[in-house]
Amino acid sequence: MVVDAIPVTSVIVARFAVGLDGEGNPVFRTRRWSNVKPEAADQAVYDAALALAGLQVHSLNAVQR
């Protein structure tokens, strides 16, 4: 039996550097934006993540889809 997986939605996960802990190690926080169309191009998703990160106070460290 063949199984076809059809993604319904996708998520953008952005990691932000928010400061340092008491020992000087970086502290990160993540933000998630859901309901991203799975057929959206990777570059378009990345551009949207950059635009959303521009609205944040902290600097962007990583983006995942």
Whether 59 contacts 26, CB under 8 Å: no
Per-residue tens of pLDDT for the chain, all 65 residues: 788 877 778 899 999 999 999 999 999 999 999 999 988 999 999 999 999 999 999 999 999 99
Strand bridging mode 59-64 / 26-36: unpaired
pLDDT of residue 3: 82
Domain ranges in the chain are 10-64
- Please provide the DSSP assignment of 10-65 as one string: EEEEEEEEEEE-TTS-EEEEEEEEEEE-TTS-HHHHHHHHHHHHTTSSSEEEEEE-
Q: What is the reported pTM?
A: 0.77
pLDDT of residue 23: 95
